[in-house]
């Protein structure tokens, strides 16, 4: 490659990698697979090696991880750098590393162990008690303080059974597959976007500002290194593991100690064969020097230790035949196609299904029933279809099209504007009904205590619930319900019926959340009802007035308009009103001093929690947004305000302190 071509390609690769690094580390929302990312990074490394004068200090190849996210918590300076590992992708590269170590060291031992796919975290203990938990952040200078969240992870020990003066350990916070599936099931019920994979779910959960959410989601942790210790000494990495086990600290104990390159490669292959049977994701195998003294001798570069490498397994893929396309209907009516194919073994498990996402994805691959397809599973739970082997297509096949009618109820389907999603238009579709009702009675909506999923399913099955409004007609069937024992005996039945009656008094924002309108969650519902005051007013709203509501974009506005344009939905709302369900917003501002103003709250405030500050602003008629834009009136900034403060300064938006806000409220 000519130098000018290389320079252009390097610039392009750096730009792409910066984008994907931000999506992965800072937004916890990757758009490409690890394999695709690694391929780009390897290409950049090769070009920089060929043209060393084009290497710059800010190249992605020269840095560790992402950035420390100031708005997520207090920043903590690293005592020991939390470096990345050098990735290798072939047996030759692994053997080259082993041979290099054998040349530099006398009879070295190698430890081969799992590389867990999660979020790196360091735990610091003083005199046996956990003091601080910190994420990797930028890896060199600062990480985020996540101590409160770390303490609700069951694998994190608050006290050491064998205490020392000081101990810092590093591990990987991850999510077991069963917990990940549960979290995504709850996301679906709440009408929220599911997480892409367990790693991103774990990362987002560890950074939660509410430790209750962290605890509910059930994170786990493996410790893979002792970073620093005072009061005890070890000669090897494996001796350190034995000490950690005595303290009941989970370590990656399924490791092998090897002395030759053949043994190392055998251990890597054994992990690869076993990874499909694990209850969590791994994205490789780590080969590290066992002797701690040898590690000191070898040292590290600015990015990676010289005494370890991470072998990344290639994505496993198998050829199979597409037998059928199965359609399912979700709570919001979204129709999801799933490929049904002849079973194949991937990463140690037998799979026969893979999501096809939507019609655009099907068209892109030109998928047809009867095709030979390539299916892969790269460190994720759900297999994916990589491509169609069109050269093996035989006979007459037809392009697959999603149906124009719902496969469950036969109602018309409609493709949402500006999206690839196809939805059933009927609010009474049986496939949607159970999930809609579960969402309606849930904690984030009408919060009807004791209305469990089992009751919902049984009441729908027996025909008592044909739409959401039927919930408020259940009292008319009290005797039948008791007689059939659907909810239980008289006491349980009356308890649930009382809870349903009480829910009629809820604020209209809870009711709007319960409708399950796509893109209208709890926060959006509150903003909308703060503006329109009642469900009745909202029904009469036009697109322009909806878009003017803070945090409501065109997509959300269209979803609201579509909901109230549907006659069945309107009849359902009218029935609820007839049953006495409150349709009015109860939230009344104490004043109007901040009316018409939009605030963004960021950073750590001196005395107020951010939620408290937001409530004070809203009580005086102001609005609180989660992002800074030209519509923002003021930014309330505390310590470590981060990127939102920077953006406000760039846009010339006034920035105030907590003291200044309280002064404004006093004047009100």
- Claim to verify: residue 237 and residue 95 sit in the same structural domain: yes
Nearest to 161 by CA among 49, 276, 269, 249: 249
Q: Hey, which of 12-16, 181-185, 474-478 has the most confident mean pLDDT?
A: 474-478
User: Nearest 5°: phi and psi at 461?
Assistant: -60, -40
pLDDT in the model for residue 65: 55
In a domain, 592, yes or no: no
With residues binned 3-state (H G I as helix, E B as strand, rest as coil), the percentages for the chain, rounded to 5, are: 40, 20, 35
CA–CA distance from 485 to each of 437, 465, 493, 494, 499 (Å)? 20, 16, 8, 12, 18
Reported confidence tier of residue 183, pLDDT bands at 50, 70, 90: confident
Asked whether residue 167 is assigned to any structural domain, the reply reads: yes
Mean pLDDT of 509-514: 93
pLDDT at residue 631, rounded to an integer = 85
Stronger pLDDT, 32 or 630, i.e. the higher one? 630
pLDDT attached to residue 287: 98
- Token pair, residue 468, equals 């959401």
Considering 503, 529, 558, which residue would you say is the last residue of a domain? Answer: 503
Would you say residue 585 lies in a domain? no
Please say if the pLDDT value at position 365 is more than 90: yes
Q: Is 15 exposed, middle or buried (0-12, 13-18, 19+ CB in 10 A)?
A: exposed
Cβ proximity of 223 and 213 under 8 Å? no
Q: Identify whether residues 567 and 612 lie together within a single domain.
A: no
In the predicted model, is pLDDT for residue 68 greater than 60? no
CA gap 648, 643 in Å, rounded:
9
Residue 222 inside a domain? The answer is yes
CA proximity to 427, closest of 465, 401, 459: 465
Is 142 inside any structural domain? yes
Domain boundary pick from 276, 296, 311: 311
**pTM as predicted:** 0.52
* pLDDT reported for residue 72: 44
Q: Is residue 590 part of a domain?
A: no
Full residue range of the structural domain in which residue 342 is found: 316-426
Is the domain of 529 the same as that of 392? no
Clarify whether residues 184 and 78 are in a common domain: yes
The CATH number of the domain holding residue 16 is 1.10.287.610
Q: Are residues 259 and 148 in the same domain?
A: yes
Q: What percent of the chain lies above the pLDDT cut of 70?
A: 92
R_g (Cα) of the chain, nearest Å: 28
State how far the Cα of 44 lies from the Cα of 13, in Å rounded to an integer: 6
Report the 10 Å Cβ neighbour count for 274: 14
Residue 163 sits in the same domain as residue 279: yes
Q: Give the tens place of pLDDT for each residue, 91-100.
A: 999 999 999 9
Q: Are residues 110 and 250 in the same domain?
A: yes
Q: What is the pLDDT of residues 226-249, one digit of tens each?
A: 999 999 999 999 999 999 999 999
575 falls in which pLDDT band (50, 70, 90)?
very high
φ and ψ of 643, to 5 deg: -65, -30
CATH number of residue 118's parent domain:
3.30.470.30
Q: Output phi, psi for 111, to 5 deg.
A: -105, 125
Residue 528 falls inside a structural domain: yes
What would the pLDDT profile of 323-360 be if each residue is shown by its tens digit?
Answer: 999 998 877 788 999 999 999 877 656 789 998 989 99
CATH number for the domain spanning 608: value is: 3.40.50.10190
Helix (H, G, I), strand (E, B), or coil: what is residue 15?
helix
130-139, 247-256, 510-519, 614-623: segment of lowest average pLDDT: 614-623
pLDDT at 664 over 90: no
- pLDDT tens-digit series, residues 107-137: 999 999 999 988 999 999 999 999 999 999 8
Tell me if 344 sits within 8 A of 376, measured CB to CB: no
Mean pLDDT (the chain) is 87
Separation of alpha carbons 319 and 343, rounded Å: 10
Residue 589 has a pLDDT of: 56
Of 112, 378, 119, the closest CA to residue 271 belongs to 112
Predicted confidence band of residue 162 (pLDDT cuts 50, 70, 90): very high
The DSSP line for 240-273 is HHHHHHHTT--B----EEESSHHHHHHHHHHHHH
Mean pLDDT (whole number) for 182-210: 77
Co-location of 193 and 272 in the same domain: yes
Q: Are residues 149 and 211 in the same domain?
A: yes
51 shares its domain with 105: no
Range among 36-50, 286-300, 650-664 rated most confident = 286-300
**Residues tagged active-site:** 115
Do 258 and 326 lie in one domain? The reply is no
Q: Dihedrals φ, ψ of 600, to 5°?
A: -125, 130
Residues 252 and 139 in one domain: yes
Q: pLDDT higher for 41 or 611?
A: 41
In-domain check, residue 52: yes
Q: Which CATH number belongs to the domain containing residue 496 in this structure?
A: 1.10.150.20
Q: Residue 379's domain is classified under what CATH number? A: 2.40.50.140
Give pairs for 348-352: CB < 8 Å, separation 24+.
Answer: 348/273, 348/274, 348/275, 348/276, 348/277, 349/276, 349/277, 351/375, 351/377, 351/383
Nearest to 123 by CA among 15, 282, 37, 229: 229
Query: What is the domain count for the chain?
Result: 6
End of a domain among 311, 344, 364?
Answer: 311
pLDDT at 69: 47
């Amino acid at each position: 490659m000519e130098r000018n071509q290389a320079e252009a390609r390097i610039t392009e690769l750096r730009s792409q990698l910066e984008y994907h690094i931000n999506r992965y580390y800072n937004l916890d929302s990757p758009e490409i697979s690890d394999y695709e990312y690694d391929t780009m990074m390897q290409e950049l490394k090769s070009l920089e090696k060929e043209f060393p004068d084009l290497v710059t200090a800010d190249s992605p190849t020269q840095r560790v991880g992402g950035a420390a996210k100031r708005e997520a918590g207090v920043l903590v300076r690293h005592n020991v750098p939390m470096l990345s590992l050098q990735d290798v992708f072939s047996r030759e590269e692994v053997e080259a590393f082993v041979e290099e170590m054998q040349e530099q060291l006398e009879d070295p031992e190698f430890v081969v162990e799992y590389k867990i796919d999660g979020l790196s975290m360091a735990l610091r203990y003083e005199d046996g008690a956990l003091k601080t938990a910190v994420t990797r952040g930028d890896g060199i200078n600062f990480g985020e303080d996540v101590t409160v969240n770390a303490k609700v992870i069951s694998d994190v020990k608050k006290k050491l059974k064998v205490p020392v003066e000081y101990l810092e350990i590093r591990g990987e916070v991850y999510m077991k597959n069963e917990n990940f599936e549960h979290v995504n099931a709850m996301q679906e019920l709440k009408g929220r976007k599911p997480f892409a994979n367990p790693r991103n779910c774990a990362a987002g959960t560890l950074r939660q500002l509410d430790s209750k959410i962290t605890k509910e989601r059930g994170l786990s942790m493996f410790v893979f290194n002792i970073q620093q210790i005072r009061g005890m000494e070890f000669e090897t990495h494996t001796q350190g593991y034995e000490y950690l086990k005595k303290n009941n600290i989970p370590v990656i104990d399924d490791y092998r100690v090897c002395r030759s390159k053949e043994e190392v490669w055998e251990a890597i292959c054994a992990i690869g064969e076993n990874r499909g049977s694990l209850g969590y994701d791994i994205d490789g195998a780590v080969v590290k020097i066992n002797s701690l003294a040898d590690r000191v001798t070898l040292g590290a570069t600015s990015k990676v230790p010289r005494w370890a490498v991470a072998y990344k397994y290639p994505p496993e893929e198998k050829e199979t035949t597409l037998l059928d396309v199965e359609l399912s209907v979700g709570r919001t009516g979204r129709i999801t196609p799933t490929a049904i194919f002849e079973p194949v073994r991937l990463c140690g498990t037998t799979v026969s299904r893979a999501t096809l996402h939507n019609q655009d994805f099907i068209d892109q691959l030109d998928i047809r029933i009867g095709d030979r397809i390539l299916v892969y599973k790269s460190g994720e739970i759900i297999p994916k279809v990589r491509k169609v082997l069109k050269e093996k297509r035989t006979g007459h096949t037809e392009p697959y099209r999603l149906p124009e009618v719902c496969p469950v109820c036969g109602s018309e389907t409609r493709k949402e504007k500006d999206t690839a999603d196809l939805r059933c238009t009927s609010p009474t579709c049986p496939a949607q009904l159970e999930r809609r009702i579960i969402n309606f009675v849930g904690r984030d909506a009408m919060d009807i205590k004791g209305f469990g999923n089992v009751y919902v399913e049984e009441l729908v099955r027996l025909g008592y619930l044909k739409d959401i409004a039927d919930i408020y007609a259940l009292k008319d069937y009290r005797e039948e319900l008791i007689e059939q024992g659907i909810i239980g005996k008289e006491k349980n039945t009356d308890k649930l019926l009382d809870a349903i009656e009480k829910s009629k008094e809820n604020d209209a924002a809870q009711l709007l959340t319960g409708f399950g309108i796509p893109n209208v969650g709890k926060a959006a519902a509150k903003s909308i009802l703060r503006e329109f005051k009642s469900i009745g007013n909202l029904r009469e709203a036009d697109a322009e007035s909806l878009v003017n509501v803070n945090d409501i974009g065109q997509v959300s506005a269209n979803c609201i308009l579509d909901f109230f344009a549907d006659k069945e939905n309107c009849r359902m709302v009218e029935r609820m009103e007839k049953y006495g369900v409150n349709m009015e917003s109860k939230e009344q501002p104490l004043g109007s001093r901040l009316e018409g103003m939009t605030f963004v709250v960021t950073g750590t405030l001196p005395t107020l929690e951010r939620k408290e500050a937001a409530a004070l602003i809203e009580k005086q008629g102001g609005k609180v947004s989660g992002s800074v834009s030209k519509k923002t009136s003021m930014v309330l900034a505390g310590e470590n305000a981060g990127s939102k403060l920077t953006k406000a300064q760039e846009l010339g938006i006034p920035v105030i302190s907590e003291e200044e806000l309280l002064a404004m409220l006093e004047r009100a």
